[in-house]
Amino acid sequence: MHYDVIIVGAGPAGSATARHLADAGMSTLLLDKSDFPRDKVCGDCLSPRAQHYLARLGVLEPVAAEAHAATRIRFRAPGGAEASATITADGRLPARTLVLPRRRFDHLLQRHALAAGADFRVGHVRALLPTGGVLLGDTALPARLVIIATGAALSLIKHTSLAPRSTVHTVAARAYLGGMQPHGPDLRILLDRLPLPGYAWLFPTGAHSANVGCWYAGPEPISAPALLRELLTEHPTLAALTAAARGSNRIAGYPIRCDFLTAPKVASGVLAVGEAAGLVNPFTGEGIDYALESAELAAAAASAALSQTAAGETVPVAALADYPKALNRRFRKLFRVMTLVQRYGSSPWVLDRLFGRGRQGQPLLDRLVQVCFGAAPPTRLLAPAALVGLLLSRPRRPGAD
C-alpha cells in the first residue's frame, strides 16, 4: 500500500501525530521496532502542559485514571537547603503532575492512534528511500511523507540533512523501585551530592513505589547508570527512602537530545517531530509535553503540505517550510531562556540562593516552576527585580526559614 504518511517511532510524538493525521483522513502507517506494550526509559512525569495536549487529543481521562497525581514539588539545593512549590493552574492547565510508566502510557497513545484508523507494523527501519518512504527490513514502503519520531536515536538520520550539526546528547538513567517505605505523594528533585548541571529525582508511582533517576547535562564523560547506582547507596535522602526497595539493580541508561535551537526539522519528503527535532527542555530534561504539542503542529503541516503536492508525489521541502517557522513561534523563546538558565543558573552559588531563601525566595521559585510547566511565559524569569534580588541575596542555613 502507498501511504500518505509513514511515521517512524510510536512514542508520544509519533502516536499523537498518527492520531491527528488519521482523524484528518490521511492514510497513515505507524512503525516501531518493538511491539506494544514495551518499556521506554524516561522519568514518566506528565506536566500540566502535557496534560493539556492529552486532553486535546482525547486521551487524558484514561491516562489520569491510571497515573499517580502530585500537586507539589520538593527541592533540595546543593548546600542542603530545602524548598517546595505548589503546582498552580492558569485556567487552562491542571494544577498537578501525573506519573505513569511509559510502558503503559505509550501503549494507551498507540491504541488511541490505531482506533482512529492508523495502521501499525513492527520492524526495523533500515533507511529512508530517496523516492519517498522507508526500507522496513528488506521491504520498501513508499509514502509521500515520512515523519521521524525516533527520539534521541540518530542511526536513521545520521547520513541525511536532518543529522544534528554537533554533539547533542545528555545522559540519564532510571530505575523502578517497589516495596519502599512511604515517601509521600510529592515529586522530589535533588541537586546535592551530584554533578551539575543535572539533578536526581524521585517521582512516586504509588504509595510504596517510584521512578528514581538522574540526569546530567555537563561536558564530563559520566555514566548515568553508574551515577544512579552510587546515589541509591550513598545519597542520604535517596538511600534512606529506598533502603527497603526492590529493583535497584535494574537500572537503564538513555540519551536525551536537547538541541532544538539548532536542530534541522525538515528535508525533502521528511519531517522531524518531538525529541527528533531536539524538543527536550535543556534545563529540566522534560520532553513529553513538547512531543505532544509538536505533534499537533506536525500533523497540521503535513496535511497542508500534502494538499499542496500532486497526488502520488513526494512532498518537496518547500511545502514544509512553514513547519520550522511554527515550531520557532511556539518554542524558540522558551528554549532560549531555558538554555540561559541551564548555562548560568546551574551552579551551587545560584541554586543555593534560589532554593535557600525561605519565604523571600518563594515567588521566584514559583515562577520558575510555572515557566517550566507552561503556566507562565518564559520572559517572567527575566524580570530585573527578581534577578537582582537573587544576586544580592544570601542563602539561609539548611532548616532555617
- Alpha helices of 24-130 — where are they, by DSSP H? 48-57, 60-66, 102-115
* pLDDT reported for residue 398: 63
- Domain end (from 234, 254, 274): 254
Q: What is the CATH number of the domain that holds 317?
A: 3.50.50.60
Q: What pLDDT, in 10s, does the model give residues 261-289?
A: 999 999 999 999 999 999 999 999 999 99
150 with 181, same domain: the answer is no
Total number of domains constituting the chain: 3
Residues 248 and 275 in one domain: no
Assigned C-alpha cell, 340: 540561559
The pLDDT value recorded for residue 190 is 97
**Contacts for 245 with CB less than 8 Å, ≥ 6 apart:** 177, 178, 179, 180
Specify whether 356 is located in the same domain as 240: no
- Tell whether 47 is covered by a domain: yes
160 and 142 in a common domain:
yes
How confident is the model at residue 397, as a pLDDT? 64
pLDDT for residue 151: 94
Lowest mean pLDDT of 102-111, 189-198, 243-252, 290-299, name the range. 243-252
Range of 353's domain?
Answer: 348-392
Which of 313, 339, 365 delimits the end of a domain? 339
Q: Is the pLDDT of residue 388 over 80?
A: no
Residue 238 domain-assigned (yes or no): yes
275 with 388, same domain?
Answer: no
- 227 in any annotated domain: yes
Distance CA 307, CA 309 (A): 6
In a domain, 230, yes or no: yes
Q: Does 262 lie in the same domain as 113?
A: yes
Residue pLDDT, tens place only, 344-381:
889 999 999 888 888 888 888 998 999 888 888 888 87
Residue 26 has pLDDT above 90, yes or no: yes
Is residue 75 in some structural domain? no
Residue 243 clears pLDDT 90, i.e. is over it? no
Q: Are residues 178 and 143 in the same domain?
A: no
pLDDT digits (tens, 9 = 90+) for 390-399: 776 777 666 5
Q: How far, in Å, CA of 296 to CA of 279, rounded?
A: 14
Same domain, 235 and 293: no
pLDDT of 21 above 80: yes
Express each pLDDT in 57-97 by its tens digit: 999 999 999 999 999 999 999 999 999 999 987 778 899 99
314-334 pLDDT, tens per residue? 999 999 999 999 999 999 999
Identify whether residues 118 and 33 lie together within a single domain.
yes
Taking all residues of the chain, what is their mean pLDDT, rounded to a whole number? 92
CATH number at residue 192: 3.30.9
> Is 398 part of a structural domain of the chain?
no
12-23 and 102-115 helices, crossing angle to 10°? 20
Average pLDDT for 15-33: 97
Q: Are residues 243 and 266 in the same domain?
A: no
Report residue 346 as a C-alpha cell. Answer: 546551574
Tell me whether residue 86 is in a domain. no
Q: How far apart are CA 74 and CA 113, in angstroms?
A: 35
Residue 182 has pLDDT above 90, yes or no: no
* Domain identity same for 178 and 282: no
**Same structural domain for residues 124 and 21?**
yes
Band (248; pLDDT cuts 50, 70, 90): low
Q: What is the pTM of this model?
A: 0.94
Helix (H, G, I), strand (E, B) or coil at 6: strand
- Over residues 187-206, the mean pLDDT reads 96
Assigned domain for 262 exists: yes
Instruction: Tell me which of 191, 221, 254 is where a domain ends.
Output: 254
Decide which of 175 and 247 is more confident. Answer: 175
70 vs 96: CA distance, rounded Å: 5
Q: What average pLDDT does this structure show over 244-272?
A: 91
